[in-house]
Structure 1
Amino acid sequence: MNKTVKVDSKSIEGIIYVAFLLGYLLQTSYLPTQFRSIRVIMISCYCVGYLFCAFKLLTSKYTAKCFVLTLIFVLTGIATLISNKSIDYIIASTMLNFLLVTICVKSISFEKIIRIDLIAKISFTLILVILCCCNVVKNVMTTRTSGAVRYSMGFAHPNRFGAMLFLIALYLAYVRREKLNLKDIFFQLFIFVVTYKLTDSRSSELGIAIVIIFTVLSLLHKRRKNKNFSKTQRYIIVIVAISMIAAMFYLAANYDSNNSKMSILNMLFNSRLELGGLTLKYYKPSLFGAGIQTYAWEDVLSQGMSHALVGSDILYLYIYLNYGIISLFIYLYVIVVAIIYAAKNDKWGCLSLIIILMVSCMENQYLPVASNVFVLYFGMYLKNPRMKRIQVGANND
């Protein structure tokens, strides 16, 4: 008797997320640069993701609102890819990938997704570190002006390694949110020390430090069972998040090295404000972005190029210049919706999303959904059964 395998909507979404997750993991490592076959595998993962996204989009039922949003997201993603002049296709397609995943993945269990993501990140990091220690994959080392040596341990850059350690600490705290204890704090402190000693990634150190603080506060208020924020608190959280992003734009655009207060802020943000201001003056924004070619700091200094060519590490400026004004507005819309949904249903998820937004003020590598799984709350919001649905395909979301 022949058995038929039924592939439902949740399975398709799982394949989409895993495909983009594997592509992201390989992208963060030095493997695609060192081995051509690995780059082929990485591109293949993304292509599989695109195929299943196309299938999902063409065979789904939509609400009127969801249909319009899907159309806007897909067209914007394609426009950013076409207009992007980056020589690296993977970088050029990052916004397209973000938009496709956020609009396609909305039925599968969030708890399942984040556990799969966490296991994948831990396993990949351990494998990569072992390969690096065995001299199979290159250990990229950079040196700060202070003399501190930074190690990538097989990742493309020390900041990539630091970001992975931060995400592991954050995701693990979320998964164990109901069972957090002193062992979790000790583990987080261990991750913090490893991040400091090996990567010296200040943004990742900040993120891990905030995770530790939230874990301590959670233990101190363990008897409180409320899992969501009140309506007033939700408004405050959204206002604070948007104000934080707006402040980064304002400070970067109006940075003045002669202003002592701004100089102190710039130092705290590791020169992010100064470099952000330079990129805003150097590059012209457009609706869908034109892509900005960035260079390593060492190359900029040795060749006497403009410091603006280092690019902006502030994620919001990076999206604005690289993927366009419309992409930034869509990203902010996704973030606000995700915050509101999480604040209503999952306090830890909301706090985790806010932590990543804070770290994004110093790092531009948290645009891929695989680096910020909490934006998937946007898709969950779209699944509102009270809205009237329009028939587009055969499968139901």
Structure 2
Amino acid sequence: MQDVSIRKILSVDLGVRIFTLALIISSFILQFFPTENILNLERDGVVRYSLGFVHPNTTGLFLMILIIEITVLYHRWFKSCLFLLLSALLLITRVTGSRGAEISLIVYILFFFFGEKRILKKWISKLIPLVIFLLAPISLLLVQAFQSNPSALNKLNELLSYRLSFLTNAFNFYGFTWFGQDTPLIGQGTFWDLYGSQSLWVDNQYILTFLQNGLIGVLLLVVLYIYRSVYLHKKNSYIMLIFLFSICLDGLIESQMISFFALIPLLGVKTKKNYSEEIVNYEESN
């Protein structure tokens, strides 16, 4: 069995993403397939574009991952990558309005910039596994806090496009389980028709996993990402580590963290002899 470099995997994945993006946008422009191309979500009167994807948030995350993959592969060209990241942030903000992608990309840009400083990079690498561990408990605590005292978190709820309200509704409706349950009404307008209340939108991967797969399911999810982050830290693969963290951070505001197109930071092949070659150590480029 031969080693498979994650660098080669990323190169192939980047090519597929660029082709897919071009195909979807071309189909959107030429109207090959019926789709909800423009969504006016009444957020300060701003129109958000999905460009042929299912939702603007999907477009935002897809673009974010594509741009990050470019910077992972070519991070030695620091200034060019930084310019590309800032341009992508502006594009995602103006076109999709995806707050999850915006916040995650801003954090990635900051960490990418801080990677030039060895001391900061060292501390960031150590803290990321701990922060990933805290994201699920923070999500659950926010829901419980909003449930107990909505007025205290009203400003945060508005800033997050009323996500806390939606999460609390879903949490109250389905409740706690150990191993999960069917959640047919999540993301469906049917809930409004049946109960005359807000639809059950769950824009938080940790809460969604908790409701659909139970406490055991969300624990397994967190352990998987912590394990991968610790592995990347030990391998000094800083650039892949902050890539992984940006996906986990998006999961705090969106529910696409475990979508198939967002799993690339988890990939790596282990052989009988050793781990596969990772991205060239970030330290070597500094």
- TM-score band (shorter)? 0.7 to 0.9
Q: Tell me the secondary structure at the aligned position of residue 144 of structure 1.
A: strand
> 1:187-237 CA distances to partner (integer Å, 9 max, x unpaired)?
22332222222211111111222233233334x54xx5x9x847x963x33
> In structure 2, which of residues 3, 14, 23 is the aligned counterpart of residue 118 of structure 1?
14
In structure 2, relative to structure 1, the CA distance for the partners of 1:210 and 1:239 (3 Å cut) is: closer
Candidates 305, 311, 333, aligned match of 2:201: 311
Q: Confirm or deny that 1:209 pairs with 2:100.
A: no
Distance in 1 separating the partners of 2:264 and 2:23: 22
Which of 68, 71, 82 is equivalent to 1:173?
Answer: 71
The 3 A distance-change label for structure 1 pair 152 and 299 is farther
Deviations 1:105-152 (A, max 9, x none): xx5321111221122112111121111111113352211223221221
Match of 1:198 in 2: 95
| Partner SS, residue 138 of structure 2 | helix
CA RMSD after TM alignment: 2.9
After superposition, the Cα gap between the structure-2 partners of 1:257 and 1:190, relative to the gap in structure 1 and judged at 3 Å, is farther
Which residue identity lines up with residue 220 of structure 2 in the other structure? Answer: I
1:344 aligns with 234
CA shift digits 1:163-186 (9 cap, x unpaired): 1111112222211222222x3233
Give the match for residue 187 of structure 1. Answer: 84
CA distance in structure 2 between the aligned counterparts of 1:229 and 1:257, rounded to whole angstroms: 39
Aligned partners of 1:130 and 1:179: how far apart in 2? 30
Alignment partner, residue 249 of structure 1: 140
User: Given that residues 139 and 154 in structure 1 are in contact (C-alpha distance below 8 angstroms), is that contact kept between their aligned partners in structure 2?
Assistant: yes
8 Å contact 2:188–2:200 — kept in the other structure? Answer: yes
The offset of 1:257, in angstroms, is 7.9
The residue number in structure 2 matching 1:148 is 46
Q: Aligned partner of 2:221: which letter?
A: Y
Within a 5 Å distance, the mapping from 1:271-290 to structure 2 comes to 271-290=162-181
Mapped contact 1:256–1:263 kept (Cα < 8 A)? no
Change (3 A) 1:341 1:296: closer
Deviation (angstroms), 1:250: 0.8
Question: Any stretches of 5+ residues in structure 2 without a counterpart?
Answer: 275-286
Does the CA-based 8 Å contact 1:369-1:375 persist in structure 2? no
Do the aligned partners of 1:287 and 1:325 also contact (CA within 8 Å) in 2? yes
- Distance, in Å, in 1 between the alignment partners of 2:149 and 2:216 is 33
Tell me by how many angstroms 1:340 deviates: 0.5
1:44 maps to none
Pair 1:109 & 2:9 matched? no
Pick closer, same or farther for the CA change 1:311–1:285 going to 2, 3 Å: farther
Q: How far does residue 360 in structure 1 lie from its aligned partner after superposition?
A: 0.8
Is structure 2 residue 25 aligned with structure 1 residue 135? no
Deviation at 1:298, TM superposition (A): 6.6
**Across the two proteins, how many residue pairs are aligned to each other?**
271
Which residue number in structure 2 is paired with residue 355 of structure 1?
Answer: 246
Q: CA deviation at 1:384?
A: 7.2
Separation of aligned partners in 2, 1:168 and 1:233: 22
Residue 215 of structure 2 is aligned to residue 325 of structure 1: yes
TM-score normalised according to structure 2 size? 0.82
Q: Distance in 1 between matches of 2:169 and 2:176?
A: 13
Cα distance in 2 for partners of 1:157, 1:238 equals: 30
For the residue of structure 2 that corresponds to 1:133, the secondary structure is: helix
Verify: 1:367 aligned to 2:264, yes or no: no
Identity %: 20
1:338 CA displacement: 0.4
8 Å CA contact 1:254, 1:277 repeated in 2: no
The amino acid that maps onto 2:86 is L
In structure 2, relative to structure 1, the CA distance for the partners of 1:136 and 1:266 (3 Å cut) is: same
- Tell me how far 1:326 sits from its aligned partner: 2.3
- 1:32-89 CA distances to partner (integer Å, 9 max, x unpaired)? xxxxxxxxxxxxxxxxxxxxxxxxxxxxxxxxxxxxxxxxxxxxxxxxxxxxxxxxxx
Contact preservation (8 Å) 2:112, 2:239: no
The CA deviation string for residues 309-343 of structure 1, in whole angstroms up to 9 with x for no partner, is 42311101111111233222221111111011011
1:164 matched to 2:54: no
Q: Return the TM-score normalized by structure 1.
A: 0.61
Give 5+ residue unaligned stretches, structure 1: 1-8, 11-106, 387-397
Q: Counterpart amino acid of 1:150? A: R
1:263 to 147, 150, 154: 154
